[in-house]
Structure 1
Amino acid sequence: MARVDSWTWAVRMFKTRTAAAAACRGGHVKVNGVTAKPAQTVAVGDEVRVRTAGVERIVEVARVISKRVGPTVAVECFIDHSPPPPPREVLASIPQRDRGAGRPTKRDRRELEKLRGFNVD
């Protein structure tokens, strides 16, 4: 048995254990479908869902470790069930607002709603 924050750090899902604990406190880590606190224990066979940088990773615990190990050993400690990332074409087609452009104006919001098909008058 190991703590979920320690295990996710040990298998290199987070750079620091502090970041792993903060993700648990923020609700970005789930064990068997339930939001996990940093001290929750994980066992072999548990499903751990971690959301980092907008990407959700779904892994199954294959081996419980509490000390950080090398990347080749870390990969052997879990079974990755994550969906494949979306193709680059899909990511490129998602419109993004320019950095520093500020909040959308009322006119911008109406144009976005019209584009998305909401509130069509």
Structure 2
Amino acid sequence: MNHKISTEPGAKLRIDKWLWAARFFKTRSLAANAVEKGHARIGGASVKPAKEVRVGDRVEIEIERVVWQVEVLGVCDVRGPASVAQTLYAETEESRAKRQAELERRKTYREPAATLHGRPTKRDRRTIDKFSREG
């Protein structure tokens, strides 16, 4: 299968299409939606889904509250295998370190309500009421 990737300076593609081809999102509509909500920035500026990204641009993408900072190395308007998608960008060292730290923090962080199941018991309710009155 022939994946035409352009790495020429000035090669450009819509940001939503690029995010989909680079496999940051499963569908173009998910990519467009994320861009609409401001989860993708080019050079630090929020953009619309139709904004074109160029080879050499710095793009920030926020996915599930994790931020990726990548440099655009190539554009490809078809979605190829992951091995091809990974050649379209290079993640910055700073971004990689921050992402790893965030993933580690998530592994060790326990949601306060994770151990609770169902409704509070009578005993739980008394404790809650006691704290509520004190506040």
Report TM bin, short chain. Answer: 0.7 to 0.9
Q: Does 1:91 align with 2:106?
A: yes
SS in 2 for 1:79: strand
- Aligned AA (1:4): I
Q: Does 1:35 align with 2:35?
A: no
- Aligned AA (2:112): R
CA apart distance, 1:90: 3.4
| Counterparts of residues 94-109 of structure 1 (less than 5 Å) | 94-98=109-113, 107=131
CA apart distance, 1:77: 1.0
Q: 1:61 aligns with which of 56, 72, 87?
A: 72
Give the superposed CA RMSD: 2.8
Distance 1:19 1:94 in 2: 28
So what's the TM-score if we normalise by structure 1? 0.76
Q: Percent identity?
A: 33
Distance 1:73 1:91 in 2: 29
Flag as ranges the 4+ runs of structure 1 deviating above 4 A. none
Q: Would you say how many aligned residue pairs link Structure 1 and Structure 2?
A: 108
Between Structure 1 and Structure 2, whose CA radius of gyration is higher? 2
The answer for the alignment partner of 1:114 in structure 2 is: none
Higher mean alpha-carbon deviation, 88-97 vs 51-60, is at 88-97
Which structure 2 residue ranges, 5 or more long, are not aligned?
A: 1-11, 120-127
Which structure 1 residue ranges, 5 or more long, are not aligned?
A: 112-121
So what's the TM-score if we normalise by structure 2? 0.69
Which of the pair is proportionally richer in helix? 2
